[in-house]
């Protein structure tokens, strides 16, 4: 039977399924549960330098084929998150997601995540609804490169950058990560979105704008990974709307060495990791693939 092992730079994962940042990752216990459910790794909640309450409700909506959130990066702050990291890493690999307004903030956060035991850092350069953060720093190739260079020179663990689809220069941003020495890119974060309640003639979310995730965005994510594969040589981790093994295979064949799952957990629970990996294994056996690597990017051939 084919192996589900995959490597991203110098990191080896038992399988390519990873928990995406923002779902079931506020506490060490919930991350541990996801690792126990078969995920190859988990990404933490995006953590900043100080505690942040996020946006007031309503900040989460279900829409056709997806969800819109405007959580506003709620988190307890890096120092309070230490115990959650320590609890989760007993069970497996944890990637520390961080957000900042400047290279200096990213450096401080990355250093602490490394000290807490993270196996890699995921730079959140893509949250579409937090003022001063996310896409406000992640859509300028120069700022992106400066952040990656600064973080890379301050820690030893690999640095991944999570990119936004809310730009027409995604490939330039990917190249900025690569030129800055980044070890991988993660694509995509949510798409900017809005819902209006006709009866009230107002946007429903308190923040008005949120980020769309779920099945609706999968073709956008697959296209983004495909484009990045043509533009950069560092590994790509695909994410956006994966809810079954076929979705995951689309990302792999577009060029992803691993994939992240987020919104689908609302319906299927953490058992989805084992289910999707089982589906990939059966597919590999049936179609004669002996490794994940042998399928990565084959849609380009």
Residues serving a catalytic function are: 127
Nearest CB to ligand SIN, comparing residues 265 and 284: 265
Min. distance of Cβ 283 from ligand SIN in angstroms? 30
Q: Is 71 in the site for ligand SIN (CB under 6 A)?
A: yes
Residues within window 104-123 making contact with ligand SIN, judged by CB under 6 A: none
* Whole-number Cα distances in Å, 263 to 35, 37, 99, 206, 212: 17, 16, 20, 21, 10
Binding of ligand SIN at residue 166 (CB under 6 A)?
no
Both tokens assigned to 201: 């003639």
Q: Which is nearer to ligand SIN, 218 or 275 (CB)?
A: 218
Contact between 72 and ligand SIN per CB under 6 A: yes
The tokens for 134 are 């996310």
> 82 with 116: CB under 8 angstroms?
yes
| Smallest separation (angstroms) from ligand SIN to the CB of 296 | 25
Nearest approach, Cβ of residue 46 and ligand SIN (Å): 5
For residue 102, the SS3 value is coil
| Interface segment toward ligand SIN; rule CB under 6 A; list 126-134, 194-202, 242-250, 292-300 | 126-134
Q: Which of 2, 16, 22, 214 binds ligand SIN (CB under 6 A)?
A: 22
> Per rule CB under 6 A, is residue 40 in the interface with ligand SIN?
no
Asked if residue 211 binds ligand SIN (CB under 6 A), the reply is yes
Q: How far is the CB of 40 from ligand SIN (least distance, A)?
A: 21
Residue closer to ligand SIN (CB basis): 69 or 139:
69
Please list, in sequence order, all residues whose beta carbon lies within 8 angstroms of the beta carbon of residue 295, skipping any fewer than 6 positions away: 249, 252, 253, 284, 289
Q: Which of 44, 52, 124, 260 binds ligand SIN (CB under 6 A)?
A: 124
243 binds ligand SIN (CB under 6 A): no
Q: Where are the alpha helices (DSSP H) in the chain?
A: 28-36, 78-89, 103-116, 135-138, 141-152, 170-179, 218-231, 245-254, 265-268, 272-287
For ligand SIN, the binding residue among 17, 37, 46, 243 (CB under 6 A) is 46
Q: How far is the CB of 128 from ligand SIN (least distance, A)?
A: 6
Rounded to an integer, what distance in angstroms lies between the CA atom of residue 100 and that of residue 47?
Answer: 9
164 CB-near residues (< 8 Å, 6+ apart): 125, 126, 128, 134, 135, 138, 139, 170, 173, 188, 189
Shortest distance (Å) from residue 134 CB to ligand SIN: 6
Q: Are 272 and 97 in contact (CB under 8 A)?
A: no
Site string for ligand SIN, 180-199 (x = CB under 6 A): ---------xx---------
CA-to-CA separations, 165 to 95, 162, 278, in angstroms, rounded: 21, 10, 29
Please report, as ranges, the residues that interact with ligand SIN according to CB under 6 A: 22, 46, 69, 71-73, 124, 126-127, 130, 134, 189-190, 211
């Amino acid at each position: 039977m084919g192996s589900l092992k995959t490597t991203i730079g110098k990191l080896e994962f038992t399988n390519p399924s990873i928990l995406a940042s923002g779902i079931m990752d506020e506490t060490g216990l919930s991350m541990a549960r996801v690792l126990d459910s078969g995920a190859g790794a988990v990404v933490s909640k995006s953590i900043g330098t100080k505690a942040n309450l996020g946006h007031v409700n309503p900040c989460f909506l279900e829409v056709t084929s997806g969800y819109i959130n405007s959580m506003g990066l709620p988190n307890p702050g890096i120092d309070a998150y230490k115990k959650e990291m320590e609890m989760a890493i007993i069970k497996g690999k944890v990637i520390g997601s961080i957000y900042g307004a400047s290279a200096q903030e990213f450096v401080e956060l990355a250093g602490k995540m490394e000290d807490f035991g993270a196996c890699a850092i995921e730079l959140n350069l893509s949250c579409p609804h937090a003022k001063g953060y996310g896409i406000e720093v992640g859509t300028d190739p120069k700022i992106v490169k400066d952040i990656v260079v600064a973080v890379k020179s301050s820690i030893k663990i690999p640095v991944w950058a999570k990119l936004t689809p809310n730009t027409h220069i995604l490939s330039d941003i990917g190249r900025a990560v690569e030129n800055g020495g980044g070890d991988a890119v993660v694509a995509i974060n949510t798409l900017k979105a809005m819902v209006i309640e006709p009866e009230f003639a107002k946007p429903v979310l308190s923040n008005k704008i949120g980020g769309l995730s779920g099945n609706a965005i999968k073709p956008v994510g697959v296209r983004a990974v495909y484009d990045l594969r043509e533009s950069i040589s560092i590994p790509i981790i695909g994410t956006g709307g994966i809810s079954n093994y076929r979705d995951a295979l689309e990302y792999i064949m577009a060029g992803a060495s691993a994939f992240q799952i987020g919104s689908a957990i609302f319906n299927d629970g953490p058992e989805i990791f084992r289910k999707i990996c089982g589906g990939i294994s059966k597919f590999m056996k049936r179609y004669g693939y002996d490794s994940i690597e042998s399928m990565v990017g084959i849609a380009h051939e």
